[in-house]
Chain A
């Protein structure tokens, strides 16, 4: 039972917001030692499992390619491509983004988008603009936060439940690496990726539906706010 204290170390480390690399290192050494290994065995365990999990870090070879393309305007061109999808409501726009993010991640292109690369400069402002265009009034502070939060969620859900359909992604490699080294079986990455597809579809249906419902919520909330404050109704509601 005492080895479960290693889990406690991880929890404490993250709750007190220590450097995650340090937390992981301390928890590893601590768990090994209280689990009855001597210091040399702990070192050997670190070395052996590091060697076995090298495949997780292999994606670093793609960085020079992406770096080169970004220097030559990959993001700018992607922005133009997405810019052609204007004229949508916030919910529909974010649903399209969710789909694009899932499909590209399923082809291994996880790093062409992200909260820093696309959500902040592109997706969130476009979603806000779309929401203001369809409801015909400026967003309140609360609704603006809501739209931004949903923009972030579309990106995260999209990449999480898209990337596992790609065979050379970290999580698939981790599963095969772990099973190969622990149980001496040879798992086929393609099989694992195949089983990720049904859940990718579920994720799109569930999160897509919620993003579409966001439009109605925004309409209702803004009409309510307008009525409560006895303000003139937003343009277009008299249709």
Chain B
């Protein structure tokens, strides 16, 4: 049986290999700290297996969580004080790309489409085959899809050296920098908020304001809460654990027996409406304005607000009508 932890080890291995490449890359002014960051992140993936085993008590070898916490703080320091650098990307010229696009034509889309196709096949057809760890077929499908797509991609492009995709992937990693880690860190922040009782506090406030057993008001509180909290935090990923612990799970699902996938998926999307409206979501709203050389930094947000507000209404109404 293929386990999801194997996929985490693969991700960790990719990071470690790229970290070694970075350490050897003299064109990167901060090559040692960059290598330390990605290497440490890579090692955190297999180490996490032991921590997850200890949390879930599902057997296997266990490891204490505290050292991993130290490693995460070290990652935060390395990324937070700008110790990450970029090397000169090893890549093809514009002419070479034009020429190979002409040569390959639309065949170049085949490997790109392989990833989602394999993921979907694994999630639907192979889910019950016992080949994959229960409930993890989709995630594993993504991993298998990437490996298959890499093989197909090398076949289609006629590339023989495995170092080429690794160098290209590393350049993308360097370009993304700490932005790659931010979603995971926001998830960590969300669960610390939940552990420290932020959700419970927000829940208490909401509880004092909400009349008992009013399903519609609770749905509105969850959706609008996701929206507002996302506007403040700049990311629906950080708002989700807080609002779900406050209202989504205890009130809407446990107390009022809402359908969990419907409540949670629509709640997350209500948060996405919030992302459209906030300068805090800099990578989605401010970066495009800079890239497009707009005088008005808020141009994209202004173009998005009239869509975001009706969509918030839509998610609230769909949840209220269909989730119970």
Contacts and interface: CB of A to CB of B under 8 A. Distances in A.
Contact of B92 (A19, A37, A71): A71
Given A22-B76, A61-B142, A69 B111 contact: yes
Contact of B169 (A34, A64, A77): A64
4 A-B pairs with least C-beta separation? A67-B168, A35-B196, A73-B101, A47-B68
Given A64-B169, A175-B264, A74 B112 contact: yes
Interface of A: 1, 3-4, 6-7, 10-11, 14, 19-22, 24-25, 27-29, 31-32, 34-37, 40, 42-77, 80-81, 107-109, 112, 115-116, 119-120, 124, 141, 145-146, 148-153, 155-157, 160-161, 164, 166-168, 170-175, 177-179, 181-183, 185-196, 198-199, 202-203, 206-207, 210
B292 A120 contact: yes
B168 A153 contact: no
B268 interface: yes
B172 A67 contact: yes
Interface string B7-22: 1101100110000000
Given A3-B198, A68-B159, A48 B65 contact: yes
Contacts of A202: 310-311, 314, 318
A49 B191 contact: yes
Given A178-B244, A181-B55, A115 B288 contact: yes
A207 B142 contact: no
Contacts of B225: none
B138 interface: yes
Contacts of B276: 153, 156-157, 160
Contacts of B43: none
Contacts of A49: 187-188, 191-192
Interface SS of chain B: helix
Given A50-B68, A64-B14, A115 B48 contact: no
Contacts of B318: 198-199, 202
Nearest to B107: A77
Contact of A3 (B123, B167, B201, B296): B201
Given A24-B185, A31-B193, A63-B168, 11 more contacts: A11-B232, A21-B178, A47-B69, A62-B142, A66-B169, A68-B111, A77-B106, A145-B295, A152-B292, A164-B265, A175-B240
Nearest to B101: A73
Given A65-B149, A66-B172, A45 B101 contact: no
B180 A171 contact: no
Contacts of B311: 161, 199, 202-203, 206
A80 B109 CA distance: 13
B11 A62 contact: no
A19 B182 CA distance: 11
B251 to A, nearest CB: 14
A46 B68 contact: yes
A119 B300 CA distance: 12
Given A73-B108, A74-B112, A145-B299, A46 B188 contact: yes
B307 interface: yes
Contacts, number: 438
Contacts of A4: 198, 201-202
A55 B142 CA distance: 11
A63 B265 CA distance: 26
B187 A177 contact: yes
A191 to B, nearest CB: 4
Given A36-B196, A50-B48, A73-B101, A56 B264 contact: no
Interface in B162-186: 164-173, 178, 180-186
- Which of A47, A168, A179 gathers the greatest number of chain B CB atoms within 10 Å? A47
A159 B318 CA distance: 21
- Which of A70, A107, A149 gathers the greatest number of chain B CB atoms within 10 Å? A149
B125 interface: no
Contacts of A81: 106
Given A3-B196, A64-B168, A115-B287, A50 B135 contact: no
B70 interface: yes
B157 interface: yes
A57 B172 CA distance: 14
A56 B291 contact: no
A237 B51 CA distance: 70
Contacts of B245: 182
A29 B264 CA distance: 27
B168 A178 contact: no
Given A60-B14, A195-B262, A152 B189 contact: no
B100 to A, nearest CB: 5
B97 A71 contact: yes
B116 A109 contact: yes
A65 B98 contact: no
A70 to B, nearest CB: 7
- Which of B64, B173, B241 gathers the greatest number of chain A CB atoms within 10 Å? B241
